[in-house]
Amino acid sequence: MQIAYRGYVKYNVLRMTGSTQAESYPPELIADRQGREPSGSNAANGTQKYGWLPYAIIAALLVAIYYHIAAKLVYDWYTIPDYSHGFLVPLFAGYLIWDKRAKLSTIPVEPTWRGFSLIVLGIILLILGVYGVELFTTRMSFLFLMAGLIWTFFGSRMLRELRFPLLVLILAIPIPAIIFNHITFPLQLMASHIASNILPMLGVPVLQEGNVIQLPVMKLEVAEACSGIRSLMSLFALAVFYGYFLERTTSRRTILALASIPIAVAANVVRIVGTGLCVQYWDPDKALGFFHEFSGWVMFVISLCCLYLVHRTMQLIRPTTGKKA
């Protein structure tokens, strides 16, 4: 056995130095070495062949579980104007992942069972959402499951790099009705109150009763659709996208996203004031018809311009520095 081992080592040395003596070395040792090489190759091929099978099975299970949930979500994007921006959010999240592809490829795969805690939490949320008929909970469970799967199979560093694309997906999920109503009604009252204080300055006497503005000609009701929540949510999502592409630091991106809130509220107040002026000095029917719809688009464009001005002001005060987050 020792002689064979020495001969095997000598064969390798001669082979590495390019000596022709290796060719004349005992064929049983050459055959023994060559006979062992394919076994490792087959093992590698087996790993490559079945390495993605668990991921494919998990993906198939996720599709089977969340197909109807996702279909209802897309239907809500299509039928609820407040969430029409939802179609853009998954595309943006996908672009974020594609943009990080070079960095993601360098992150070592470090599987860990610690991610199983998020998987369990996602399953619990899914069960509670299904039995409680709460769409928001079932939709959020998908994000927890995805985060848990990434953490479990690829490690915490991979999850850290993908957390922003996962968080962005929250913008596409309609919030629960109870929270939605708690947001829209204060917005209605605030917009009505501010507009009721501005209109008299422009020569239009008003009397405010809650979200109803009594004009000399007619009553102007600031309904839920006129609360500004639609433009606020769309502008907030666009501010997140805008900040990612044009800013490098998280703090400046956060400032841009938060700036979209007062901009959207102010734009809605201007729209209500404009509608009141048209009712008083032009034609009530046209004011509540053409002008009301057209002004919504105009004010949204103006809101985007205001967001750009905020960004330019930030750059003038302190130019962008630092690495891209």
Q: How many residues does the chain have?
A: 325
Amino acid at 165: P
CA angle (226, 227, 229) in 5-degree steps:
110
pLDDT at 134: 84
Dihedral sign, Cα of residue 261, residue 267, residue 270, residue 271: negative
Residues pairing with 213 in the sheet: 208, 220
Task: Please write the tens of the pLDDT for every residue from 5-44.
Answer: 444 444 444 444 444 444 444 444 444 444 443 333 343 3
Categorize the per-residue pLDDT at 68 as very low, low, confident or very high, splitting at 50, 70 and 90: very high
pLDDT at 176 over 90: no
Q: Tokens 């630092």 belong to which residue? A: 322
Q: Which two structure tokens, joined as six digits, stand for 59?
A: 């993906």
The predicted model scores a pTM of 0.74
Task: Please write the tens of the pLDDT for every residue from 195-242.
Answer: 888 888 888 888 888 878 888 877 777 776 667 788 888 899 999 999
pLDDT at 322 over 60: no
Distance CA 183, CA 185 (A): 6
Q: What ranges do the domains of the chain cover?
A: 2-50, 65-172, 177-317
The contacts of residue 191 (CB under 8 Å, 6+ apart) are 222, 226, 227, 228, 265, 268, 269, 272
What percentage of the chain reaches a pLDDT higher than 90? 38
What φ, ψ does residue 156 adopt, rounded to 5°?
-70, -35
pLDDT at 256 over 90: yes
Q: Which two structure tokens, joined as six digits, stand for 195?
A: 């507009």
Distance CA 314, CA 192 (A): 31
pLDDT at 48: 47
Task: Please write the tens of the pLDDT for every residue from 81-115.
Answer: 778 888 999 999 999 999 999 999 999 989 899 98
pLDDT at 132 over 70: yes
pLDDT at 263 over 50: yes
Write down the mean pLDDT value for the chain.
80
Distance CA 135, CA 73 (A): 9
pLDDT at 287: 67
Q: Which two structure tokens, joined as six digits, stand for 125?
A: 């949320």
SS (H, E, C) the chain: CHHHHHHHHHHHHHHHHCCHHHHHCCHHHHHHHHHHHHHHHHHHHHHHHHCCHHHHHHHHHHHHHHHHHHHHHHHHHHHCHHHHHHHHHHHHHHHHHHHCHHHHHHCCCCCCHHHHHHHHHHHHHHHHHHHHCCHHHHHHHHHHHHHHHHHHHHCHHHHHHHHHHHHHHHHHCCCCHHHHHHHHHHHHHHHHHHHHHHHHHHCCCCEEECCEEECCCCEEECCHHHCCHHHHHHHHHHHHHHHHHHCCCHHHHHHHHHHHHHHHHHHHHHHHHHHHHHHHHCCHHHHHHHHHHHHHHHHHHHHHHHHHHHHHHHHHHCCCCCCCC
Distance CA 52, CA 70 (A): 24
Question: In the predicted model, what is the mean pLDDT of residues 138-145?
Answer: 95
Q: Tokens 């399953």 belong to which residue? A: 123
Q: Tokens 């997906």 belong to which residue? A: 169
What are the helix (H) ranges across 169-228? 177-198
pLDDT at 293 over 80: no
The answer to whether residues 118 and 148 touch, using CB atoms and an 8 Å cutoff, is yes
CA angle (226, 188, 89) in 5-degree steps:
60
pLDDT at 52: 79
pLDDT at 18: 47
